[in-house]
Structure 1
């Protein structure tokens, strides 16, 4: 293990010990605390199928995540502390097969580093139903969304305020100044996917209103300072049809334009997903459309909140249209709880190619997962994720991911 990573691990242990001592000092602080340890084994293989491309990217790595969450001290204003320690270790990465995003790049060898570690500490305060967190953050929001699709999750640094003082209404707002990528130990400035530009300030805010038990509305705003502004509106409605049957409607719209004088920007993104659920089956149909002269902007390294953002592609090129068909099945219906299956297909067209003509692409995903429901191995999960991508303007890919994870509560 490198000297820098030793320092990270020492910091993790020190932070964990400090948190444990603090918890012991406050009974109320301890009562609501949680601790869990997750082991995550990740194999990633991506074959490049287009002419002239590299052969493949293939790596295997082991990750360990320690999550500690305190309760709150007593009083009108309660205080707490959370910690997230993460370590990633390379198990296999042959010559020329690095670049999967599981491990940091090793510039001296052109491959991947043997190991890396990172520590996130988050101070928090709570008054009534309003909570403020400051430090390392992992959260999901329509205009800024953390990514957890590799060995270790991507995190932000900043402040996050959530408030639920009003019935059926949740306010979320905050400020982010740095991002730490999945395969990095360091915080860096943020940039916008596809359109470039860097910034050390992302401001966001918005609300989610549960109008009825079956209808939710949301409105959010995000600003990557001096790069782009984004306005988002969404609707989710679940229509009960009969016992074991329902129709879910998920509508999303975002309008993005430039902020400051970085460059002109014009994008409107509309997305819709309709899911009919019949007992253990779910059938989904989705449509996504980009209008304007530019692709959909979002913070590079994070997840865009788009209905057709799937395993590899986001189908968010300028003026792109895309359709999705999806099927899910829960094997609990046939006596195998914990076993699930998903398959989907997305096809996009109307993309303006640099070389001229219409750009087209498609992607097919299949997920099979199983989580042990009881006994000694309870919470042991195995998931296989397969994807195929074909495009006349981008990469042709065949990809497989095998993820074995085990989460153990510490108390």
Structure 2
């Protein structure tokens, strides 16, 4: 997910020269991911192909992942895992149509973690396996074809859009099996389409069915299409739609615009909305839900301040596809603030060291409050497959809750360890007796070392 890239584009002087994927000021998922902040993908032009071998590359990424989580009265976990990704990307054959292949080998070594660690470590085919010490598997494999500025790919891959965006917050990321098309034939316009059927989930070495994150309902295929338009150097708009077979149709729209300069003050506004409606056999029951968020950020030099508001309109939880960060809402931070009718407000401070003579260092602190959740309409379906989701301690989900968080990050700027990224994540959530998320504390340390072999 390019979550922090959205903030960077909004707050910095520099802006992308080609249309990027839809982004969001949701920052926690991006900060957890060691891949966050990677430079924008280059313009994929077949006219500039130097050949399948000459343009090939091999990258290694070593990730040290430690996690501690405590939830009052229920769940405790701890994990320490070393992950390694070896990714090979071939170039494209020359000519009007170029062909190539991608492949990646993923491996992990568990140093700590057992029962309760779940997908922080290893999950076997039958949900067991938490005591396995090491595992390896093909994390990606795909064939690809390129015509002009359009790239078609089929296989196990990562993608980036408001519905399918790998939730890369473990030692190894999830990947998805299917076909994707990205086209940038028009300057400033990025168009996408795809269809996916399986996921290689975090902590697993085998493919499983796609399923919804909150409802837990499995389905056979999700298909999507959409576009992001950089209508000026300071603004972009996105429009996407998807269908999870026999579960829902979902629509997404966003608008982002910035004015000013960080050396004086730069203001950036962002608004987005999801609209979800049941489809086909409606395996997750009736769904009619709209979720929206708006934010305004201001940056002067290294200091930034953001205020974000989010609202759920509907009797259902706002849901998305499991193993994804497909919830591009500003207040989806430690928890999602996505209960029926819930509202939330966030205040966030960010520090960008490059404007203070500390290149590579950044930090984020936030506080957030949620209120107005009301799942009482679920009483009519209390005996249904999702009845337990809407009830807590014998009552329909309701009540207030709040959270705090702190994330400092440093990227080494030079020397043999250049581009090594160190991220500390500390999050505290306080839930009420009848809210769906419990009181919990989470602490993570991620150290990532990328190496270009060739």
TM (norm. structure 1) is 0.88
Q: Counterpart in 1 of 2:25?
A: none
Pick the aligned partner of 2:269 from 246, 249, 253. Answer: 249
Q: Counterpart in 2 of 1:335?
A: 357
- 1:131 counterpart = 2:151: yes
Q: Please tell me whether the aligned partners of residues 293 and 308 of structure 2 are also in contact (alpha carbons under 8 angstroms).
A: yes
Q: Counterpart in 2 of 1:187?
A: 207
Structure 2 alignment gaps of length 5 or more: 1-48, 376-390
The CA deviation at 1:75 is: 0.7
Q: Counterpart in 2 of 1:367?
A: 407
In structure 2, distance between residues paired with 1:377 and 1:115: 26
- 1:235 counterpart = 2:258: no
In structure 1, distance between residues paired with 2:230 and 2:189: 6
Q: Name the structure with the higher strand share.
A: 1
Q: Cα gap change, 1:107/1:180 in structure 2, threshold over 3 Å: closer, same or farther?
A: closer
Q: Which has the larger displacement, 73-82 or 188-197?
A: 188-197
Structure 1 alignment gaps of length 5 or more: 1-25
Pick the aligned partner of 2:133 from 114, 138, 143. Answer: 114
In structure 2, distance between residues paired with 1:340 and 1:213: 24
In structure 2, distance between residues paired with 1:57 and 1:338: 31
Q: Counterpart in 2 of 1:90?
A: 110
1:114-166 deviation per Cα after TM superposition (whole angstroms, max 9, x unaligned): 22222111111000011101101212101222110111011111000011112
- 1:294 counterpart = 2:316: yes
Q: Which has the larger displacement, 134-143 or 110-119?
A: 110-119
Q: Counterpart in 1 of 2:369?
A: 347
1:57-83 deviation per Cα after TM superposition (whole angstroms, max 9, x unaligned): 011110001111111100110011111
1:15-34 equivalences in 2 (<5 Å)? 28-34=51-57
Q: Counterpart in 2 of 1:18?
A: none
Q: Cα gap change, 1:337/1:269 in structure 2, threshold over 3 Å: closer, same or farther?
A: same
Q: Which has the higher contact order (CA 8 A, sep 6+)?
A: 2
Q: Counterpart in 2 of 1:385?
A: 425
For the aligned residue pairs, the C-alpha RMSD in angstroms reads: 2.0
1:356-398 deviation per Cα after TM superposition (whole angstroms, max 9, x unaligned): 5732221211111111100122122211100001111231111
- 1:104 counterpart = 2:123: yes
Deviating 4+ runs (over 6 angstroms)? 106-110
Pick the aligned partner of 2:85 from 59, 65, 83. Answer: 65
In structure 1, distance between residues paired with 2:145 and 2:91: 10
Count of matched residue positions in the alignment of Structure 1 and Structure 2 = 381
Q: Please tell me whether the aligned partners of residues 178 and 196 of structure 2 are also in contact (alpha carbons under 8 angstroms).
A: yes
1:168-179 equivalences in 2 (<5 Å)? 168-179=188-199
